[in-house]
């Protein structure tokens, strides 16, 4: 069998997503015995991810093989096209490919109780808060999606999912403060194989593509709930006791009432005076275990 570069070469320069992408298409010929299988033909060609001699920043992304013609008795000539690109250039070893990281945002609904410019409570013209229904606004949280090839399923899958970063975590050059990132999901694709070149030796590498989705909330990954209840703490005969909350006429309240954060009924509740209790609902884990390089 023999491999030779052809004379036909094509180059394309295009502008995509704010950057210039260079693509090349180079012909090559492989002479093989009659009846040779395609894997044998591909074994004579550069592996996916190989650098292009005329542009080292471009990597081999795909190979096309055309219908063979006869070269000589008992041998066939295969014409191949090797396609190189500078866009998301693969590596010769899929396990060494850098992580692909993308950022996005998501909107959350929240009560609006304070003017964002004047920093004063939002009230109607008579000085009362809007309670039924309360005013709502949206707040932005961030999502980072990380794609990475690993040799085996991520070993921390069952311990880190739905957990929060216990220390500052750096991803894509951004430092995420502790307790603000939560691992929402991990997707592991089916086992794949690709011919690779490791230390100058061609071999077949198996890998599993992984996708990690992390939510980042600058205000922290806590569960917040309004402090409400049917009971409150009151002094009865000199001792603090937990008693039913009643109206002015002594009737026990049938619906939960707002509390002041100390277990006492909140007088004249309003959106700005409601006490919100925060709870750490998610376990803390080391997010440095998430592959981001």
Domains, the chain, in order of start with CATH, read: 2-90 (3.30.70), 100-222+283-289 (no CATH)
* Residue 187 CB contacts under 8 Å (≥ 6 apart), including other chains: 210, 211
Q: How far is CA 289 from the centre of its chain?
A: 14
Question: What pLDDT is attached to residue 7?
Answer: 81
Span between the terminal Cα atoms of the chain, in Å = 39
Q: Is the pLDDT of residue 1 over 70?
A: no
DSSP for 195-262 reads: EEEETTEEEEEEEEEEEEEEEE-TT-S-EEEE-EESEEEEEETTEEEEEE-B-TTSPBPSS-EEB-SS
Average pLDDT, the chain: 89
Structure-token match 């070469």, residue found: 9
Confidence of residue 122 (pLDDT cuts 50, 70, 90): confident
Q: In the predicted model, is pLDDT for residue 77 greater than 80?
A: yes
Between CA 253 and CA 251 the distance in angstroms is: 6
80 has pLDDT over 80: yes
């Amino acid at each position: 069998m023999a491999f030779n570069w052809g004379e036909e070469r094509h180059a394309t320069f295009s502008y995509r997503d704010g950057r210039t992408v260079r693509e090349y298409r180079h012909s090559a010929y492989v002479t093989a015995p009659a009846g040779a299988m395609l894997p044998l033909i591909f074994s004579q060609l550069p592996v996916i991810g190989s650098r292009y001699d005329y542009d080292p920043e471009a990597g081999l992304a795909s190979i096309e093989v055309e219908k063979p013609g006869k070269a000589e008795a008992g041998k066939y000539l295969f014409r191949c096209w090797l396609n190189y690109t500078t866009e998301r250039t693969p590596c010769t070893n899929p396990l060494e490919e850098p992580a692909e990281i993308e950022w996005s945002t998501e909107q959350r609904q929240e009560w609006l109780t304070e003017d964002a410019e004047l920093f004063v409570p939002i009230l109607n013209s008579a000085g009362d808060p809007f309670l039924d229904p309360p005013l709502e606004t949206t707040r932005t949280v961030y999502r980072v999606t990380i794609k990475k090839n690993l040799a085996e399923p991520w070993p921390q899958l069952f311990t880190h999912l739905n957990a929060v970063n216990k220390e500052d975590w750096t991803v894509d050059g951004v430092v995420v403060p502790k307790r603000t990132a939560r691992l929402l999901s991990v997707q592991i694709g089916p086992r794949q194989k690709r011919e690779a070149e490791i230390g100058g030796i061609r071999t077949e590498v198996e890998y599993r593509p992984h996708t990690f989705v992390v939510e980042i909330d600058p205000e922290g990954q806590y569960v917040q709930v309004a402090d409400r209840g049917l009971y409150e703490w009151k002094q009865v005969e000199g001792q603090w006791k937990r008693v039913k909350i009643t109206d002015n006429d002594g009737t026990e309240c049938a619906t939960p009432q707002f509390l002041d954060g100390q277990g006492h009924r909140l007088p004249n509740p309003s959106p700005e005076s409601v006490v919100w209790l925060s709870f750490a609902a998610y376990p803390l884990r080391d997010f440095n275990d998430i592959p981001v390089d």
